[in-house]
A and B are shown apart, each in its own frame.
Chain A
Amino acid sequence: MRTVQGVRSSRGESGTWDASLTGDVDAFVDIFDLHHNRVYRHALRLTANVHDAEDVTAAAFLELWRRRRSVRVVDGSVLPWLIVTATNLSRNLVRGLHRYRALIATLPRAEVADSAADIAVERIEEERIGEEVRQALGALSSADAALLALTMFEHYSPAQAAAALGISDGAARTRLHRARSRMATALGRSLVGDCETTTKEEPR
């Protein structure tokens, strides 16, 4: 089960987030620096290319600020909320990004040599789940995909995932069971075994 990581200040993520809510710029940047690569890697699992994943990550953090008053903090961390939001944005690029499209379009990106790009692609392939899994996740509802992502890839417990989505623990377990069954139909039994292994660690 994931535990909350510290940030560079001594107040921990929970205190840093509280400071962000008061308009503390440095605190919000700390939150960004703490989580942006994890959100990006998660977006890469769900989108077709690097640029889409970057766009999703940008939109997730802009949404984190815009909706900061209603963000669900799980065990002191906003990462579960970011993962859920990135999941929704990845599945609904047109709607999710339209608010920020013009802004994101002005952000520069590195131009890398072809050989360096190949290196990057190799790393992405090592990090990414297969195309089959991405398509299988795409066939689930947003909430079910987020539940699976939080528990299967980010190793949160069902209770923590439920808190991130604002649903009851029992509802999360029921939905997880159904979502795993659908994934099993799409991918075979092995992945389902992985899911079960992961969630056995959950606290009761």
Chain B
Amino acid sequence: MTMLEMDPVFTAALREVLVATVDDTPRVRRRWRWRLGAGMFVGSTLIAGGAALATGLFSPPGAPIDTPIGNVVTVTHTGPATIDLGPPPARATDLSLTLTCLTVGTFDFPNGSSMSCDAADLSHPPPDDQEASEVVQLTPGKDSVTIDTSANASWTLQAMYVNQVTTPWGTNARGQTYGVQNQKGTPDLIAVVVDQGKTQGYVKAAELNCAAGGNVETPAQALAWDKASENRNISIPVYESDGTTVIGTFIIGHATGPNARTVPFSSLSLDCSATGNGPAVNGP
């Protein structure tokens, strides 16, 4: 049996993010120290790109954006409690909650999710291991939030009404949509980060899917695809949002041995346009 492996597309994208994160970390720190030491307050493009990626601020079209509305309500309490937040502003769609545990305990959010803190968590500098955030949809007519926990567990809650909008995908001159995958589905061009975080661009969903073995339809094809992928990575072009200007490559695969090779998608005779046809399993 072939060992279960993580989605190759997700794996490739995660690898790029890790590369970008590692690559940026020491340089960001050194530069900030140097610049602050010199009395300057300047953010370079390197810092902006790296920091944005590392903190998840990279928001291509299609990503949800929460805009705060109204004041932040901060309450510290011991034991279970229901906090009255007042009526939501007209445009509020969701409630942003940040809970910090002050003692050991398990704390249940209104949507059924929960966080727990043990002694080890509390021993670390705050807020690294004591804080959890959640955005929950508003329930019409309900102006309060309940945190359920044991009688002696202490916590601080910051609650804020927000307006959550899933930004629309962009549409280029050729009518192709571009952005991130979301609840609406997959755009024609999917946002990726490559080149150690320095390049943000888009790959064609059809090419990405095909290069990941997305058209495999039978167990025999799946096994053949896995075997062909053992020593082969596939590179697909990364485009500007116009879908034609190539600015980089996105590599799918995990082949790393001495026989590993990376082949361009265009060199493979993969027919991913028609349904019912599995992809060819042998590259050049």
Contact = CB atoms under 8 A, between A and B. Distances in A.
Interface of A: 8, 20, 23, 25, 28-30, 32-33, 36-37, 40-41, 44, 50, 53-54, 57-58, 61-62, 65, 91-95, 98, 100-113, 115-116, 119, 123-124, 126-127, 141-143
B4 A127 contact: yes
Contact of A108 (B133, B190, B196, B218): B190
A159 B59 CA distance: 45
B19 A29 contact: yes
Given A41-B4, A61-B18, A95-B132, A103 B216 contact: no
Given A94-B115, A101-B56, A115-B217, A106 B222 contact: no
B218 A115 contact: yes
A119 B216 contact: yes
A36 B15 CA distance: 10
Q: Which of B8, B21, B55, B208 has the largest count of A CB atoms less than 10 A from its CB?
A: B21
13 contacts: A33-B254, A37-B3, A41-B3, A54-B6, A61-B14, A103-B56, A105-B63, A106-B59, A107-B10, A110-B9, A112-B216, A116-B214, A143-B118
Contact of B22 (A25, A58, A94, A115): A25
A40 B254 CA distance: 14
A191 to B, nearest CB: 22
Contacts of B17: 58, 62, 103, 107
B58 A108 contact: no
Contact of A109 (B59, B63, B181): B181
B141 interface: no
Interface string B118-145: 1000000000000111100000000000
B191 A106 contact: yes
Given A25-B23, A102-B57, A113-B214, A119 B10 contact: no
Given A23-B22, A62-B18, A94-B115, A111 B55 contact: no
A107 B13 contact: yes
Contacts of B222: 116, 119
A18 to B, nearest CB: 14
B217 A54 contact: no
A65 B21 contact: yes
Contacts of A124: 4
Contacts of A112: 209, 213-214, 216
Nearest to A30: B256
